[in-house]
Amino acid sequence: MKIFDISVPLAEGLPTWPGDPRLLIEPVLQLEKGDGARVSRITLGDHSGTHLDTPAHILENGTTLDDLPLSLLLGRALVADLRGCAAIGPAELAGLPLAGEERLLLRTGNSALWSRADFSPDFVALTAEGAEYLVSQGIRLVGIDYLSIENFNGDGTVHRTLLGNDVVILEGLDLSEVPAGVYELICLPLRIAGGAGAPARAVLKQF
């Protein structure tokens, strides 16, 4: 059985969305200084690295992490290899075997962007029409391999379409080593009370 860790490491220098808090890891106790343990202070935004967007992220009365069923974050997931696409719309999605699938992870050329030190605004994203298509197909969770499912210059339409229809968004994945196919997704976000989003550890397990 092979397990793919599709989470990006939380380390200083991790690219963040412009305006979001940068990740800081500050030693508080250090063995090298004679302390009895290693303890660090971690400062980060709730949408840092691999993270989950809940409907509360953009909707006034949207579902928060407290009310999100864990069953949605565990189970069969389809990984689609869409490398080479400049954007992901209905035409790119129509050829995927989505019948009966609830969880879809989009592997694009974005996974290579994690090797860059700075944020890259030229990432591949889902179009508004693509979001509508996924809703019509019954997708309940969609993931992508950079910090947003929506274009850098987007107006929020993609997020509103997905989250407004209770489609949870898993962003900041690293799918660079994952072949297209069907896997078991295990994704557990931090349990932040009333949270609109949270960093998550996400892995894929081969059936």
Tell me the CA distances in angstroms from 54 to 38, 183, 191, one per residue in order.
33, 22, 12
d(CA 77, CA 110): 19
- CATH 3.20.20.105 at 3-206, yes or no: no
Helix (H, G, I), strand (E, B) or coil at 157: helix
Question: According to the model, what pLDDT value does residue 87 have?
Answer: 97
Average pLDDT over residues 159-182: 97
CA distance 7 to 25: 18
- Given a cut of 90, whether residue 117 has pLDDT beyond it is no
pLDDT of residue 1: 82
pLDDT-derived band at 176, boundaries 50, 70, 90? very high
Whole-number Å distance between alpha carbons of 27 and 8 = 21
- Each domain of the chain, given as residue ranges in start order, spans 3-206
Of 47, 51, 57, 159, which one is the catalytic site residue?
A: 57
Span between the terminal Cα atoms of the chain, in Å: 7
Q: What is the mean pLDDT of the chain?
A: 96
What is the pTM assigned to this prediction?
0.95
**Rounded distance between C-alpha atoms, residue 43 and residue 138, angstroms:** 36
Which two structure tokens, joined as six digits, stand for 153?
């210059």
User: pLDDT band at residue 140, thresholds of 50, 70 and 90?
Assistant: very high
Tell me, yes or no, if 57 is annotated catalytic: yes
Of 162, 138, 129, 134, residue with least CA distance to 148: 162
pLDDT tops 90 at residue 207: no
Contact 119, 14 (CB under 8 A): no
* Predicted pLDDT at 10: 94
